[in-house]
């Protein structure tokens, strides 16, 4: 018996990178997986086919997590098809690189809209369902820059810091309903880390990453831990994964 048999998971930003790796890992463990993307339909459909090739059931939907209406439509589609939601992974994200003084109000709003408001939207959309089930797992995504600072990502880091605070508050509010809320701060070899490496090289003359990073597939077991019964007594925690 696989660890997520009969369960339903949402992975936002599930078309590539860490989201894709997590969606595939969940499918291998027996979960029915709903995945979203906001721009690249081809990548979303490719991941959908990969899940199907594993024998998994999936819903793939274009959705902007910053728009509550999109998330409500996703939740309605999932409930209509599968009748429950057990796991939410708030993975959708964007990265727009610029020094602090060059960040525009529009960019600030966009970044916080996707990361922080998006995490809020998706979390709020599943709370009533998980409360009724008396069971649920919510996994949010932070970043090292939220804890230690970086360069060119002040808006991104601020959003991730907000997500850490949201995680801890949600964990406290939802603990009596057997809903665990945790946060992972991952560093993996993705398009975002490639963009950051290139930016730091151009802006600061740093020729390489400060540390090596692992493939997204190496991050997925941490998500499985927080998605399964192994973490039934763990909530409000921040786990850093991916640096060696």
Q: Are the beta carbons of 44 and 23 closer than 8 angstroms?
A: no
What is the Cα–Cα distance from 48 to 87, expressed in whole angstroms?
A: 18
Fold of 8-234: Rossmann fold (3.40.50)
**pTM for this prediction:** 0.92
Is 151 designated active site? no
Average pLDDT of the segment spanning 234-242: 95
Query: Catalytic residue among 34, 75, 117, 156, which?
Result: 156
Find the radius of gyration of the CA atoms of the chain: 17
Mean pLDDT, the chain, rounded, equals: 92
- Give the pLDDT confidence score for residue 151 in this predicted structure: 80
Tens digit of each residue's pLDDT (9 = 90 or more) over 25-64: 999 999 999 999 999 999 999 999 999 999 999 999 999 9
Q: Where are the domains of the chain?
A: 8-234
Q: Furthest-apart CA pair in the chain: how many Å? A: 54
What is the Cα–Cα distance from 161 to 143, expressed in whole angstroms?
A: 8
Q: Could you give the C-alpha distances from 75 to 11, 132, 233, in angstroms and in order?
A: 12, 15, 26
Tens digit of each residue's pLDDT (9 = 90 or more) over 16-36: 999 999 999 999 999 999 999
Report the percent of the chain where pLDDT is more than 70.
89
Average pLDDT of the segment spanning 145-172: 94
């Amino acid at each position: 018996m696989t660890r997520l048999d009969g369960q339903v998971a949402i992975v936002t930003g599930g078309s590539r990178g860490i989201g894709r790796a997590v969606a595939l890992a969940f499918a291998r463990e027996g979960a029915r997986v709903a995945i979203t993307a906001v721009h690249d339909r081809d990548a979303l459909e490719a991941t959908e086919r990969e899940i199907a090739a594993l024998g998994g059931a999936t819903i793939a939907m274009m959705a902007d997590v910053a728009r509550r209406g999109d998330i409500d439509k996703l939740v309605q589609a999932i409930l209509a098809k599968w009748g429950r939601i057990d796991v939410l992974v708030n993975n959708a994200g964007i990265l727009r690189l610029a020094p602090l003084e060059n960040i525009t109000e529009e960019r600030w709003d966009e970044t916080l809209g996707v990361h922080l408001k998006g995490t809020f939207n998706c979390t709020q959309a599943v709370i009533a369902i998980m409360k009724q089930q008396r069971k649920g797992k919510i996994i949010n995504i932070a970043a090292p820059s939220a804890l230690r600072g970086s360069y060119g990502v002040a808006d991104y880091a601020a959003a991730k810091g907000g997500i850490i605070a949201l995680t801890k508050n949600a964990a406290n509010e939802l603990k009596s309903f057997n809903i665990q809320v945790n946060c992972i701060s991952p560093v993996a070899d993705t398009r975002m880390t490639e963009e950051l490496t290139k930016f730091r090289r151009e802006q600061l003359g740093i020729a390489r990453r400060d540390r090596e990073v692992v493939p997204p597939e190496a991050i997925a077991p941490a998500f499985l831990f927080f998605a399964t019964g192994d973490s039934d007594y763990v909530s409000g925690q921040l786990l850093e994964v991916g640096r060696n």
